């Protein structure tokens, strides 16, 4: 696990460095050629409607209720996985995943994952038992779980564009460009120093 942390940190710092370099380009563009940069940014701020794209996902579809065959599969597979996982020691799981188990945080993460998987297996067994022996109760649970919620109503304001900073940059392009340029240069220098220390 110790080899994973530097790799993740390097990826994060590289991502930050690329963002800082893009900030330098944007700041320099606003400071030197503000009209062309503003035209480019204006083109990037085009609004795209998610309603049309996500409409097929929004429509509710009835796939029917589960049957006894699925119930048998859930009970057998869930019980087997539950039995195997319950006997699996955390240290063995760490060795199988090639993870250094010397850290307490790593052991806690593996133990948590194990208990989540055990809970999932228990739910699968319970669902299989309901499908086999209590089909009415299963239908009631399924009908409640399949209730359709319109994301259009939930995320009504999510499609509205908010561009107050863009308007400010349009009003004062050279000041905004200089500010973005200086902050991006500082960020680039700090990120580069951190990358060379790794």
Task: Give the span between the Cα atoms of 76 and 125, in whole angstroms.
Answer: 8
pLDDT given for residue 44 in this prediction: 76
pLDDT given for residue 70 in this prediction: 85
Report yes or no: 182 and 27 within 8 Å, Cβ to Cβ. yes
Encoded tokens for 14: 């590289």
pTM of the predicted model over 0.75? no
Task: Give the span between the Cα atoms of 88 and 94, in whole angstroms.
Answer: 10
Encoded tokens for 127: 């669902």
Encoded tokens for 172: 């004062």
The number of beta carbons lying within 10 Å of the beta carbon of residue 69 is 10
| pLDDT block averages, 10 residues each, the chain of length 198 | 70 92 92 83 72 71 68 93 88 78 78 92 93 87 77 64 76 89 93 84
Phi-psi region of 99 (alpha: psi -120 to 50; beta: other; left: phi over 0): beta
């Amino acid at each position: 696990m110790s080899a994973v942390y530097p790799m993740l940190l390097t990826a994060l710092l590289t991502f930050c460095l690329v963002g800082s370099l893009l900030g330098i380009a944007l700041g320099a563009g606003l400071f030197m050629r503000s009209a062309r940069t503003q035209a480019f940014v204006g083109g990037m701020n085009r609004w795209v409607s998610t309603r049309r794209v996500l409409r097929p996902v929004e429509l509710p579809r009835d796939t029917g209720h589960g049957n006894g065959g699925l119930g048998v599969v859930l009970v057998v597979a869930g019980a087997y996985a539950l039995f195997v996982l319950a006997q699996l020691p955390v240290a063995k799981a760490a060795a199988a995943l090639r993870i250094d188990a010397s850290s307490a945080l790593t052991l806690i993460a593996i133990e948590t994952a194990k208990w989540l998987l055990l809970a999932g297996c228990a739910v699968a067994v319970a669902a299989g038992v309901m499908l086999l022996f209590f089909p009415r109760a299963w239908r009631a649970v399924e009908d409640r779980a399949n209730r359709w919620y319109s994301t259009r109503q939930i995320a009504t304001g999510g499609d509205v564009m908010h561009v107050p900073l863009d308007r400010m940059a349009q009003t004062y392009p050279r000041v905004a460009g200089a500010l973005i340029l200086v902050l991006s240069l500082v960020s680039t220098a700090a990120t580069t120093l951190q990358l060379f220390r790794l």
